[in-house]
Structure 1
């Protein structure tokens, strides 16, 4: 998940084998009726309007910057602290006192990174070369929100990345204050810890001590997910970026485990089982969101919508209980404790939207993930990257039909 707004432009290697609140425009005063304009030069009015517009833009920029200055200073301080506290992985591995489990995870992460760069062509080769101890705390927190009676993610606007449906913080208290502010304004809002974030290639992202507790398949998934952000990023298209990273992370981690342990290994069998379980939960969550979306489309009062949505959500909890045998690991049992919250549901959808289209392109590329990533990257500058992918799929299908395949 991207936190910072800076980004260097990075392309995958082709494998050898807070949003503005107003659209108002500041204009100069209009002369009173019958009063001649003071300027009589041919283009004086245009020049004056441009001058006023420029002044207005500058004024708005100053106001916005001033109101966000504390936030940006907070981000800068947090990032600088992380950079200064980060030690090279080679130095960490050289410590005799290093815990065996941490050593194994660091070496495993190194193998994942080599696979990501050499086999998958993912960018960000300077990432994860240093280690940061979070002292058991999450590295950051994200806040997101939505009206409770419809799915409409609250948007924040930042330079470079454009509009995004979340706001990142290095301090939990700041995140909770933002969440509470949005809740007081009538939004569904959440503040949640994040396991990692991407600076989109602007800084070297660290391996975190909290990652060392991850199972191997989950750690590989996380690293490949974040490296995807450093490789392919569509400005202002959060659901595209996160869903793409989800697909690459899950697909790539399974490929890595097969390479690392063997296709029939216990590690791969376990990873496949977990992935199938995750896909079943995703199907359930999409059904929840679809049912609520249909409810929100009805012309009902806000109060009636809120009453009915609780009943809908409770019904899906009962459905989960009834199909518990399909979720033997219990890793999704937390769903039973969720309160109905549009921000939480949108956060889930943000990472799991239309994964089938990425899968279809992957199969069209002969199950060659590096080639598929290159294809995904070709759509990052499109006005609508989803439409771009759909056109790519359709074009390939038509080409195959003409070829007789």
Structure 2
């Protein structure tokens, strides 16, 4: 019975759940994670704990307190325990899209509705499923994920998979995943992820302002500026492809034009990289096979971020009021929500010009 309940609930995390084997890997993967989880105070106080890990977890605890105290994020047992999974990622997400469409494939699940990815606890399983999609003529992208949220159904632990990135990344992930517990709309991945990204950006900025040196804050803002320029490049490329796919070109001609658009994007990245003084942080992403699924995996998380930032500005930076406004958007129909977000997005982009 417990396994059946877990199987249903764990469809929150990973897409589809259309086969028994998929249920099984979801349940087994999460049960193994839970079995490795220990309360952070127990790990910190254990005599055999590596001193470096002890210090990391002490800083994580401070970040967790900041999340609830200063960002009004849920004050619960999430991220108050720790698990070392012995691997670099907790799950691997599979994204998929047709050759001449930017629409990512959706997989529908219990509780959360439809999402634009399907996750696996085993990298080989993700690669196998992606291979099946490729054989059917679909473009795919497989990406390792350092964290996921169960939306409060379980007490999500801090994981070695994101602890290894350092304090700032830990703060980003904790703020992001806790934001999902405030507002989450079934079947609207772009809304959910863009909201969480907007919270993580503002949260890290406030955390650094309170705890770090001015130099670290300036480094964050510079990194954020590069990230926004990267996202703009991806969005511009998708706009070009959207226009191309709406044309009446024959498949061979459209395929050649698509290759040219992607080549232009890579050249634009080279120019952008030069303007950054050679900063190469996005080289790994550009070294991957580039297709509609790869591009879509980025846009899912950034599509509405400017809209949410505009909304936060309207509320004078007051996070509780901001959360209420976001909840009101969540109550709208998807069509009404898109219209409202478009208006916010336009105002934000206009003010930035």
**TM-score between the two structures when normalised by the length of structure 2:** 0.88
Aligned residues: 336
In the TM superposition, residue 296 of structure 1 has moved relative to its aligned partner by: 1.0
Partner SS, residue 323 of structure 1 = helix
In the TM superposition, residue 351 of structure 1 has moved relative to its aligned partner by: 0.4
> In the alignment, which residue of structure 2 is the partner of 1:51?
none
Q: Which runs of 4+ in 1 moved over 6 A?
A: none
In the TM superposition, residue 100 of structure 1 has moved relative to its aligned partner by: 3.5
- Write out aligned runs for 1:163-182 (5 A): 163-182=114-133
Alignment pair present for 1:4 and 2:5: no
Which protein is richer in helix relative to its size? 2
Gap regions ≥5 residues in structure 1: 8-17, 20-64, 397-405
Larger Rg over CA atoms: 1
In the TM superposition, residue 269 of structure 1 has moved relative to its aligned partner by: 1.6
**Highest RCO, 1 vs 2 (Cα 8 Å, sep ≥ 6):** 1
Alignment equivalent of 1:377, drawn from 306, 327, 349:
327
Give the Cα separation in 1 of the matches to 2:311 and 2:252. 43
Contact 2:10 2:27 in 1 (8 A): no
Residues 78 and 149 (structure 1 numbering): CA distance in 2 closer, same or farther, change over 3 Å? same
- Write out aligned runs for 1:132-211 (5 A): 132-211=83-162
> In the alignment, which residue of structure 1 is the partner of 2:64?
113
> In the alignment, which residue of structure 2 is the partner of 1:241?
192
1:196-240, Cα deviation, whole Å (9 max, x unpaired):
001111111111112222132222111111111122101100010
Alignment pair present for 1:225 and 2:212: no
Partner SS, residue 330 of structure 2 = coil
Between 247-256 and 104-113, report the one with greater CA deviation. Answer: 104-113
In the TM superposition, residue 290 of structure 1 has moved relative to its aligned partner by: 1.0
Contact 1:123 1:230 in 2 (8 A): yes
Partner SS, residue 175 of structure 2 = helix
CA RMSD of aligned residues (A): 2.4
> In the alignment, which residue of structure 2 is the partner of 1:350?
300
Give the Cα separation in 1 of the matches to 2:175 and 2:49. 25
Contact 1:156 1:164 in 2 (8 A): yes
Gap regions ≥5 residues in structure 2: 1-8, 348-353
In the TM superposition, residue 381 of structure 1 has moved relative to its aligned partner by: 2.8
Give the Cα separation in 2 of the matches to 1:331 and 1:226. 23
Give the Cα separation in 2 of the matches to 1:107 and 1:383. 43
Alignment pair present for 1:291 and 2:240: yes
Residues 124 and 79 (structure 1 numbering): CA distance in 2 closer, same or farther, change over 3 Å? farther
Partner SS, residue 145 of structure 1 = strand
